[in-house]
Amino acid sequence: MTMHGVFVTIEGIEGAGKSTAVSCVAEWFTEHGYDVLCSREPGGTPVAEDIRRILLTSTEEELAEPAELLLMFAARAQHVARGIRPALEAGRVVVCDRFTDSTRAYQGAGRGIDSGVIESLAAYAEQGVRPDLTLLLDLPVEIGMARASARRGTSSKDRFEREAHAFFERIRAGFLRIAAADTARICLVDASAPIERVQAQIRAILDDRFETAR
Ligand code: T5A
């Protein structure tokens, strides 16, 4: 079946402002008369949200790297099949906080898992569902970490937030390499700027990409 909707993903390190950007993108499409579904990964459907809990919770039994990768793709396969694809087929706009570029950056650049393994699992889990546009929110790791910890307040860090600074530097560099290799799909946003300036950059990208296409 042909898909008629629009699929937009938001990527970046912890505290980049992805949730804030999802609202901004959703608002733009709603203002332009589209029916919008906001979602996130890992998660987005009840089963995928159950998998998210396993992925983000630190337990005594350390999650093995291959298990982490396969759980990310299990959650994604479920989200694509039961959430994203049906919405796109219904002509809706799907705005998703993270998608496969996060796996490329975190499990690929961060953990060092082979890109061939990641790309073959991606093809199987995505079943042809690919983002039309990806916004990469880029900012220095220290700023992202400071924002994430201010937002977290007194609640404890999740399993990923406990990683060392160098892990997040590898991820940031990984995201920038992914973006440089696919400039047709991925637009870079300077996320270190104040919220209003970040939102203005996002709206300009959407004006440029979608206003003329209407
Ligand atoms: N993961 C995920 C993988 O390893 N592989 C994968 O394939 C996938 C899909 C998921 C974790 O899973 C990993 C990556 C993650 O570690 P998540 O819930 O997406 O976790 O986690 P985070 O990235 O940690 O989400 P955060 O909520 O920390 O970050 P956001 O969404 O980027 O940031 P946001 O919008 O909540 O903003 C954080 C704070 O900063 C403020 C906001 O008001 C908020 O308080 N803020 C700004 N402040 C100043 N200036 C700006 N421009 C600001 N923009 C936002």
10 Å CB burial of residue 75 (0-12, 13-18, 19+) is buried
CA–centroid distance, 87 to ligand 1, in Å, is 24
Tens of pLDDT, residue by residue over 48-96, are 999 999 999 999 999 999 999 999 999 999 999 999 999 999 999 999 9
Q: Is 143 in contact with 198 (CB distance < 8 Å)?
A: no
CA–centroid distance, 97 to ligand 1, in Å, is 8
10 Å CB burial of residue 57 (0-12, 13-18, 19+) is exposed
Q: What is the pTM of this model?
A: 0.96
Orientation angle between helical segments 115-126 and 65-79, nearest 10 degrees: 20
* Pocket lined around ligand 1, Cβ cut-off 6 Å: 12, 14-20, 41-42, 72, 97-98, 102-103, 106-107, 147-148, 151, 160, 191, 193-195, 198
Nearest alpha carbon to residue 92 among 155, 12, 33 = 33
Residue 156: CB atoms within 10 A of its CB come to 8
Tens of pLDDT, residue by residue over 94-131, are 999 999 999 999 999 999 999 999 999 999 999 999 99
Tokens of 128: 């042809």
